[in-house]
Amino acid sequence: MNRLNDAEKIGLRDKETKEVVAVYPYKAEGSDKEIEDKVKFWFYQQSCSAEDQLRDLFVDVINDEKKY
């Protein structure tokens, strides 16, 4: 199932609160696994602390909601 492919917006959410942590700035293309890997790698490149944060995040489709 390709729920992430061609989604308008995807990003990372907190596993506990489901709050949006980051919105991926590029178009989602490929299989769900490829997209998840790209998003996580992009986030990892943003800061040194991202590696620790990634354990508590998951890739998801982002609807029209505010980024916190």
Q: What is the pLDDT of residues 34-58, one digit of tens each?
A: 999 999 999 999 887 888 899 999 9
6: left (phi over 0), alpha (psi -120 to 50) or beta: left
Please choose, from the candidates 13, 16, 7, the residue with its C-alpha nearest in 3D space to the C-alpha of residue 68.
13
Confidence of residue 12 (pLDDT cuts 50, 70, 90): very high
| pTM for the predicted model, two decimal places | 0.84
SS3 state of residue 57: strand
Helix and strand element counts for the chain (H, E): 2, 3
Please choose, from the candidates 12, 11, 5, the residue with its C-alpha nearest in 3D space to the C-alpha of residue 34.
5
